[in-house]
Each structure stands twice: as structure tokens, then as C-alpha cells.
Amino acid sequence: MSDIAKNIYEIEEDIKKHSSNPEKVKFIGVTKYVGIDEMLEVARCGVKVFGENKAQVIKEKQEKFKELGINDIEWHFIGNLQKNKVKYIAEYVNLIHSVNKLSLAQEIDKRAEQNNRKIDVLLEINIAGEESKEGYNLEELYQELPEIMKLKNINIKGLMTMAPFSDDETLVRGVFKKLREIKEELNEKYFNGRLTELSMGMTNDYKIALEEGATLVRIGRKIFQ
């Protein structure tokens, strides 16, 4: 068994161990630092969801997989998305994790309509209020949400956050718990239970995220270490 296969097996076992609903969890292989050969090995190990953070790069990789006749990959955009880059991914992206302003949501909606699609998205919330990270604060989210919900060609599936890079488990757990509580509140007030996804947890903190209800974990370093 290769190192990549061993690492993926460990992650899958951690999902079973730490999530109360492991069958609802999707493990996203974050492949933004690796090339096609490594991605093919990850896919051979059964991981069929890839996360990228650059629009041109994800487009190139998606086209390469298509050339190879591999059509069962889900492509997730997980980084900060600029409005002028939406056009590169609108035709095929399965989920955009990082909607953090109304103008971006409107651009995704416009490009989705041009491609005769509805694009699934998550709303990114900066729970910890870190200046180095993107994402809504709660006040802005509640201001813009009514307008976002009017858009016909995006489908809001849930929420995303990043916890501070910290060894303080209480701090990290608090961030993930808060995102889950916000999801529950939004479901009650606006979505009637339609928000199902919580994208939270990376290599250093995904076990805590799983314990707090993550349905999407974004893991890169642990796969390739």
C-alpha cells in the first residue's frame, strides 16, 4: 500500500470514528499543490472529490481529466473566488465553498444562467473574525442574505468556515460549534431545513470538526505527507 493510500485509509477511518453521521460526510482531497499524477493516485484510492483554490488551475485539471476519459470527479472551489474568475469554472464546478459577498453571488448566478445550470454554493462565515481570512461577519450576512436568496440560479447548500490555526482545542471547537448553531438558526428562520452542509475542518483540525457536525472536510497535507 502506498503512503497516499495509507493516509487516505486513516482519514476514512477517522471519519467513521469521529462523526456521528459518517455516511453523510464527504472527504475533499485538496489538490491545489499537486499535479495530475498524484491526483490520479488519489482517485484510484476512491477519493473522487477534489478541492482547488485557483480558477485557471482547476479548469486545466478538469480538462486534463476529461481528456483521460475520467468523468466521475466532483470539482469543488474552496478558495477566495474573484468575480472575474467565475466564468472559468461556471460550466462544471460542483460546489463553490466561498460565497462571501452579494456581488460574488450575483456573478455566480449570472454565469450559472448562461450555462443553463444551478450552481451549488456555501456561504463563508469568518466566525473568529480574523483579518487574514475572508468570509462574512454575521451582521453582513444577515443584511445580504435576503438578496442572495432571491437569486434563481444558485442553490445555497450550507456554510463554510476556517478555524484559527491553533493548538487551543477549546477555541477551535468553539468556532465549529458556532457554525453549526448558525446553520440551525438559518434553517429555522430562512431555509426550512434546506441547509445540510457544513464545510469545516482541515488536516490539523478535521477530527474536532467531525465531532461538531462537519459534512465536508477539506484535507490536503495529510494525504501527501
Q: Please give the chain's pLDDT, 225 residues, in tens.
A: 789 999 999 999 999 999 999 999 999 999 999 999 999 999 999 999 999 999 999 999 999 999 999 999 999 999 999 999 999 999 999 999 999 999 999 999 999 999 999 999 999 999 988 888 899 999 999 999 999 999 999 999 999 999 999 999 999 999 999 999 999 999 999 999 999 999 999 999 999 999 999 999 999 999 998
Q: Which residues of 37-53 are buried (b: 16+ CB within 10 A; e: fewer)?
A: eebebbbebebebbbbb
**pTM of this structure:** 0.97
Element (H, E) at 49: strand 49-52
Per DSSP, the residues of 179-223 read HHHHHHHHIIIIITT---EEE---TTTHHHHHHTT-SEEEE-HHH
From residue 161, alpha-carbon distances to 11, 20, 172, 192, 214 in Å are 20, 20, 11, 22, 10
Q: Is 158 left (phi over 0), alpha (psi -120 to 50) or beta?
A: left
Distance of alpha carbon 166 from alpha carbon 169, whole angstroms: 7
Please calculate the CA angle 46-216-60 and round it to the nearest 5 degrees: 60
